[in-house]
Structures are given as structure tokens and as C-alpha cells.
Amino acid sequence: MVAVLRPKPGPPRSYHFPNFHDEVLPSGVRLVTAPVSKLPVVTVLVIVDAGSAHDPAGKEGVAALTAGGLLEGGEELDGAAIAERFEQLGTSVESGADWDSAFVKITTLSDRLEEATLLLGETVSSPAFPEREVERLRAERLAEILQLETEPRGLADEKFTEFLYAAESRYSRPDEGSTESVTALSRQDVVDFYRTRYRTGSTTVVIAGDISRESARQLIGKAFQKWPSGKPSSQRLITSARTTRRSVHIVDKADAPQSELRVGHVGLPRKHPSFFPALVMNAILGGLFGSRINLNLREVHGYTYGASSYFDWRRGPGPFVVSTAVQSEVTAPALREIFLEIDRIRGDRVSDSELSLARDYLEGVFPIRYETTAAIASALATLVIHDLPADYYDSYRKNIRAVSADEVLEAARSQLHPDQLQTIIVGDARLVRDPIAELQAGDIQVHSA
Amino acid sequence: MRIPVETFRLDNGLLVTLSEDHTAPIVAVNLWYHVGSANERIGRTGFAHLFEHMLFQGSAHVGSNEHFELIQRAGGTLNGSTWLERTNYFETVPSNELALALWLEADRMGELLPAMTQEKLDTQRDVVKNERRWAVDNQPYGTMLEKLQELVFPSTHPFQHSLIGSMEDLSAASLDDVAQFFATYYTPDNAVLSIAGDFDASDARQLVADYFGDIPAGSGKPPLPPMNLPPVFGQSLREVVYDNVSLPRLFMTFRSPVFGSEQYYAASVAGAILGLRKGSRLQRSLVRDRQIAADAGAFTFDLAKGTDLLVVDVTARPEIPVPQLEEEVEREIDRFYREGVTATEVKRAVALIETDLVTSLQSAGERADRLSMFATFFNRPELINEQSDRYRAVTMDRVNELISERFGENNRASLLYVPREGVESEGILAAAAGTA
């Protein structure tokens, strides 16, 4: 009936990551423009070196609160009026902070770009941070933290990083702050953080979409002419591990139908010579649907709906983590399989078939990742945040292709540390504790949720 | 802005839509089967979705899990999803791999059954049970969809039962069920195939004819029971769920005009005025001004038969008592019902929706999915190009007519989640004080 023979691929058509221009405007703001004229859409992404890693000790969450407050009132308009103005233009605007940067982003139809961008520049150049709105954002963050108590996935992620990093590391606490730190934050903390970190020398505007380089230069020059000048100082980030011994933490949830599992250790920073080998190694271990960990836990054993592993790429060494949720009864056998897979990929070379699957996937999927102006802008922001070379995207596929089985093995042996694995389980301690003790995965501590 | 749309039908009934775009060397293949949880028989809730999992377990010339492997090896992305009225399967691949994606879809449409085994069914049953535990049972508010379906649809209605299914029904599913479901619903005349992106139309026509042309048409599917419902519930419905959640959350639901109808667009705009983004009424009033809500929004299910549902979704701030949450939401809806909306509000909503429509069409996969949707529901894939106009045609008067028809007290169903722990400790306190 259906043709028996599998079709062969045709000749590939070439693809290039969109050309972009990188320059510093007279004001000192850096501008990266990628003209892409597929549809009448433009994304403007402002990134500031004001991420959560810059939170002063005891003020965890101030970076996120500051970024959130940027749109809550300016010299002339209050927060409600700002939202109304943007939305009348059909533009939604969002702001926030992750570990390595603060951002403000709009995606708009081209014919409204100028008005929306001028509004954006005006708003974020002179935020008033009204007391009432800062208080509200703080209360909303506290509500979010409270929600985590009953949300096993988010709770597992948070507990994992807490037990992974030394207490004095900023990475050991939630990027948006804890109940204690957020409760203690004031409007003045926000104002101080903004004054210190939001400067021309720490700001890049990325524009991707239906616009020329010249128009972008004029528009951004005008919109950000009032941006405060100067360059904030850099800070030393502590990223040491809490312990180098294996240990197990059970966050007890009586009668939980599943155990949320996180297994891992401190990984490596984004800018690292082993980046490409580690990326390919992880794709084979747990990055793809057809990875060892997913096929083992899901398709062989039916323990889970899905299991994956990843390096959380940050400027500092973010976590390496295996993440899954399994039926409570099989928590210990599932963990055993995870440990085995980590040992196995460090033991022998991966097969040619596994290596080609990972490389072909990462190479082939590359153009599919950059279909939208938002995705292109975000890729360009990554270049800026991690100070990657301008030809990074042009050489990406070549770099993937060059990774050998020996390098994958080397990456597994040097970057995965079975003797340091931290295991976090959000689940029913009564049910899972004894079987886990038999795995000898380290000392077990049980915590209440 | 218009995207090109070409349509043809094979002799076996397969409807095919094509939309070329050569800006990047990628192509999306998308199949909608016109079957969803609504088509399940009694005692087999969750089967349409379990069946979707089985479609990745191989077919006559494709090994178990090989579908995933071949597409990823080609540098493509893929998945499937199940909804009340349809099941879709989709791949986005480098454009020189179009034939592979089409061949894989054709092999499982034509010859799935030779690859089905009891062992594969048992494993996928476990996977789906774990999906249920993960997404429904062990997730705050995770039971919302099935509780809401149960509350707002009459017991005999095809939309009334759970999409993910009960553990009991999942356990009961057999290989015979797989064979029967396949023969009844996975036929070319019950499917739409869409291709969007970088391809040559005449090549694509040839490939589709070669791979799908010989698959026999089905012998028809059993008709669904009557789906039509009156425009309003005729009363206020209410259910309280005491659950393992941190904050009270109210899902207030209205019967709403079916997807694609003239009135649907007015309802969609009404929903956007209420709950789309920060400038919407609920965000502005309940989150920003009165600060009783941690979050607020509104959405439609986009059901094309029977009735659509418009849902207002408000999560309380921690210090707000449950009755106050309900009262304040009701007051907002009462005001909406009494006073209607302004032209400025309509303009804001339409502008936002229009931007979303255009930006979503940047992705080949999204284009293909929407083409399949309009072809499946209305036999008119070219409706993809009429959406902006439809929304722009919505006037304040249209929205206000819709509001007076649908937002009265006789058309509200409240599904209210209340933290179980709070209730227990209140009970304990009351007992200690001697008032219980």
C-alpha cells in the first residue's frame, strides 16, 4: 500500500543566520540590528547587565523587582496608563530579570514600531517606581512563593539549587528572592539598584525584524537619548558547591502520587572550552526524546511521562541536572537507572548511531529555531550576555559537526561527577525512604515541605 | 497580509492544503484527524489520547520510536496532541526532508496495526498514567479541565467526560480497541494534511499522491450524539473543590458562541477586554487597583460544535478570604453585563489580537496547524487569511449584544478551588473555640 522504501533526503538548501550589525551609538548604548523582512513584525529587546546574580547579599530579588517595576510608572504616565498606551498600539510589553540580565521586550507590527519604541524608551529611562506599585509587585512575588509550596515541579527545582550551592552563593537562593529577602526589600532598594546598574555602558538594544539598520539607529538613538550614562562595576560571584559528597534530600509530601526527581551537581559556565562536546554529550544522555535516559525511563520502563537532562547555561557555572517525575512506587528503581546511565556514558564511547543522531539533530534543527523575530532577538541577546564571537551562529553547525565520540567521552568523564551527585526528591518520604537507602546514594535527609 | 493557500482532495477523501514560503529552508507537515475525546465510547475515557501515543510506536515499515528518531535525525521537531474535537500530528523539518515526513505520516495512516503489540500498549498505558499523575493529580488546579467539563456539560454530552481519562478506563483499553479506533477514525477521509514552508507545490502534490493515494477511504464514522445546547445554562452553576492548592482560584465559565461563528469573534473580543494582558479589566481592577488577585485572565476553548466556553480565571491574593474573591469577580462581571464595553476597549483588544495573529504566522508549524484547523472544521483553509478582517469588523455594539446575551446570572458556572489545608485548620480552630 504505502511505499515500502524510505525516501532519501534531497539536496539541502543553504541557510544563514540573519546578518546583523553591532555598533555603539553616540549615547554609549550598544545597538544590534538584524533586518529580517519576512513579515511586518519587529521585536525590540532591551537587555541590561542587571540580572539576579547582581543582587546584593540580603537583597535577593531586587533585580527582578526592579525590572518588574520599570513599566509601573514614569514621569508623566502611571502604570495603568503605560499598559493602556502600549496595548492600544497592539503591543504587549514585558520586563523581567534572569540570572545574567534584566530585559524589556516588545513585539509590534511595523507600522506601530516608532510610536511603541519611543514610548518604551521614555518609560524605562525615567521610571518612578511608585511606592504602591513596588509594594504590589512584592506582594505578588510573595504569593508566587506561597504557590510553590503546593507545586511539586517548581518546589523541586528550587530545593535542588538550594542544596546544590554553598549558602553564601547567590545561586543557592531563588533568582526572584525568598520570602525573607523579598519581605525585607524596600522601594529605596529598587531605586538604588536601578541607579547603580541601569547605565549606557551596561545596556544593549537588540532589534530584529522588518526595519533597516539606518532606521533602527535613528529610532533607538532618539528613544534612549535620556538613558543614564556610565558603566557599573562588575562583581565576583561565588558559585561553590554546598558539598562534594553525594547526598539525598527528601522533601516530604505525604501521599504524593509521583516523586519529582532532580539529580545533578554544579555544572560549567556558558563560556567554556567544553561547551560543544558537553552539548552533544548531554543530547545523547538526556537532551533528546531518543536520549538514553528518556528511552530507558519512559519507553522501556514506563516509569514516567518524560525524563531529560540539561546544563543550565549561565555566566557562572549553573547546574547540571537530570529531571523527571515518576510514579511514587518506582522512585528507587528510577533513580538507579539514572545513576546507571550517568556511569554508562562515562564508561564507554557512544555508538556512531547515537553520535550522528545528536549531531544531525542539533545541526539540522538550527534554522527552525530562528523562525520568529523574538527568537532571533533572543539569540542575539545571548551573544551579548555571554560575550560570544560575532561569527558564533555562523560557525555553530560546523562546531557541532566537529565533536567526536572521543570528545563526548572526555566531556562525560570531565564534566559529570557521579561521586558528587545531589539527589532531591519531592514525594512521599514514608514510601520512598527505605528503598532509596539501599541505593547508597549518600546520606538521606528528610525535610518538611 | 495574506499567505498563499492551495487546496486539493485525493480520491480517497484526504483533504490537502499547501502554503509556500521560501524565506527559510524549512517545511512543516501537519495532520488533523477529526477525532478527539468527544468520540470516545462509555468506559473508554482517555482513549483518543492513549491512541495518539500509540501512533509513535511504529507502523508497518517503521520501528518502535523510530518515527521520533528519524525526524530528529533529519534535524526536525515533532509531536502530537489531543483535544476534545481533534487529534493532530506535526513535524517541522529541513525542506529537503519533506518526503520523509510525508512518508512517515502515510505509513502510520495506512498501516499502523501490524506494529501494534500488547507490550507497547502496556508501556504507553503506564506512560499516560504517569502523564495523568504529572499534569492532573500532582499539579495544583490540575483537575480543572475535567472538573469543568463535568460541571458545565450535561451527562450525556460528548464534551462532558475527561480527556486524559480515568485510571480505570485507561486500564481497560485493549488492542481490540486500538484496531477498532484506527479503522473507524484514522482514515484519509477523516483527515486533513497541510504543508507549509519551503517546497515546490507540484513536487508536493506528487509526493502526497504517491504516499497517501493508495490508502483506502474509511466506511464512515458513527455520528456523535446531539451536541447543540441552549445559549445559556439557564441557572447559576457552582462547584467547590477543596484541594492541595495554596491560593483560592475561581474559574467562572460562560456558554459562548461556537468557534468560527459570526458571534464568536465578538465573544473573543469580550474575553480579551476582560482578561487579555495588563490593561484588561480584570487585571486593572482586581490585580492592580483593588489588589485582591495575584493573577487574572480570560480565555475561550474554541470549540466548533455544540457550544464554546469562555472562562474567566482569577487567583486570589493570600490574604483574601474565599467569599470576597467570589464577590469581587461577580461584581466585575455584573458591571460588565450591566454597562457593557467602550469603543476604546474594543480597539485595544482587536489591536492586541491582530498583532498575535500576524506574529504567530511567522512559524511554518503554526501556519500549517491553522490551515488544518480551518479545513477540518469548515472545509475552508483560506479562512486563515480572513481572521484579521473578522476581528476588525467587530464593533462595540456587537460586543455589547453578545454580553447582554451571555454574561447574565443565568449563564455562569463557577468552579472554585479552595486550599484544603486552610479549611482544615479553620475547622480545627473552630472546634477548639467550641463553635463546631
**What are the pLDDT digits (tens) for A278-289?**
999 999 999 999
Tell me: do B259 and B399 sit in the same domain.
yes
Q: How confident is the model at residue B1 (pLDDT cuts 50, 70, 90)?
A: confident
In a domain, B225, yes or no: no
What SS3 class is residue B92? strand
Half-sphere exposure of residue B280, counting CA atoms within 13 Å on the CB side? 29
What pLDDT sits at residue A234?
Answer: 83
A282-339 pLDDT tens trace: 999 999 999 999 999 999 999 999 999 999 999 999 999 999 999 999 999 999 999 9
Residue B369: its chain A contacts at CB < 8 A? none
Q: What is the mean pLDDT of residues A232-251?
A: 93
Tell me: do B250 and B361 sit in the same domain.
yes
CATH code (residue B86): 3.30.830.10
Q: Phi and psi at residue B79, in whole multiples of 5°?
A: -175, -170
What pLDDT sits at residue A235?
Answer: 79
A380: Cα separation from own chain's centroid:
15
In a domain, B218, yes or no: no
CATH topology assigned to domain A21-223: Cytochrome Bc1 Complex; Chain A, domain 1 (3.30.830)
Whether B428 has a pLDDT exceeding 60, the answer reads no
Tell me: do B122 and B161 sit in the same domain.
yes
Split into its structural domains, chain B has a count of: 2
Q: What is the mean pLDDT of residues B375-404?
A: 98
Q: What grid cell was written down for B154?
A: 450535561
Q: What is the mean pLDDT of residues B246-268?
A: 97
Which amino acid is residue B384, in one-letter code?
A: I
Q: How confident is the model at residue A2 (pLDDT cuts 50, 70, 90)?
A: low
Whether A81 has a pLDDT exceeding 50, the answer reads yes
Tell me: do B69 and B26 sit in the same domain.
yes
Q: What is the mean pLDDT of residues B150-173?
A: 96
Whether B425 has a pLDDT exceeding 70, the answer reads no
Q: What grid cell was written down for A28?
A: 554609549
CATH topology assigned to domain A247-448: Cytochrome Bc1 Complex; Chain A, domain 1 (3.30.830)
Instruction: Judge whether A258 is closer than 8 Å to chain B, CB to CB.
Output: yes
Residue B369 makes CB contacts below 8 A (sequence gap 6+) with: B28, B30, B88, B90, B194
Whether A275 has a pLDDT exceeding 70, the answer reads yes
In a domain, B436, yes or no: no
What pLDDT sits at residue A41?
Answer: 97
Q: Tell me what percent of the residues of chain A surpass a pLDDT of 90.
A: 95
Range of the domain at B76: 6-212
Contact, A106 vs A117, CB < 8 A?
A: yes
Q: Do domains A21-223 and A247-448 have the same CATH topology?
A: yes
Which of B64, B96, B140 lies at the smallest CB-CB distance from A11? B96
ipTM: 0.95
What pLDDT sits at residue B436?
Answer: 28
Which amino acid is residue B383, in one-letter code?
A: L
Query: What part of A 177-236 touches B (C-beta under 8 Å)?
Result: none
User: How high is the mean pLDDT of chain B?
Assistant: 95
Q: How confident is the model at residue A3 (pLDDT cuts 50, 70, 90)?
A: low
Whether B92 has a pLDDT exceeding 70, the answer reads yes
What Å distances lie between residue A395 and A15, A123, B331, CA to CA? 12, 38, 58
Q: What is the mean pLDDT of residues B103-117?
A: 97
Q: What is the pTM of this model?
A: 0.95
User: How high is the mean pLDDT of chain A?
Assistant: 96
Q: What is the mean pLDDT of residues A422-433?
A: 97
CB contact under 8 A, B277 and A11: no
Q: What is the mean pLDDT of residues B180-191?
A: 98
Q: Which H helix or E strand runs over A353?
A: helix A352-364
CB contact under 8 A, A303 and B130: yes
In a domain, B1, yes or no: no
Q: How confident is the model at residue B421 (pLDDT cuts 50, 70, 90)?
A: confident
Tell me: do B40 and B136 sit in the same domain.
yes
Length of chain B: 436
- Domain ranges, ordered by start, for chain A: 21-223, 247-448
What pLDDT sits at residue A302?
Answer: 93
Tell me: do B207 and B243 sit in the same domain.
no
What pLDDT sits at residue A233?
Answer: 87
What pLDDT sits at residue A5?
Answer: 81
Tell me: do B350 and B302 sit in the same domain.
yes
Which amino acid is residue A426, in one-letter code?
A: V
User: Would you report the helix, strand and coil content of chain B in percent, each value rounded to 5?
Assistant: 50, 20, 35
What pLDDT sits at residue B435?
Answer: 31
What pLDDT sits at residue A88?
Answer: 98
In a domain, B434, yes or no: no
Which of A83, A253, A241, A239 has its CA nearest to residue A156?
A253
CB contact under 8 A, B127 and A305: yes
Alpha-carbon gap, residue A121 to A25, rounded angstroms: 15
Q: Chain A residue with minimal CA distance to B78?
A: A289
To test the contact with chain B by mutation, choose from A371, A393, A428 the residue with the greatest count of B C-beta atoms within 10 A, namely A371
- Domain-ending residue, one of B195, B212, B229: B212
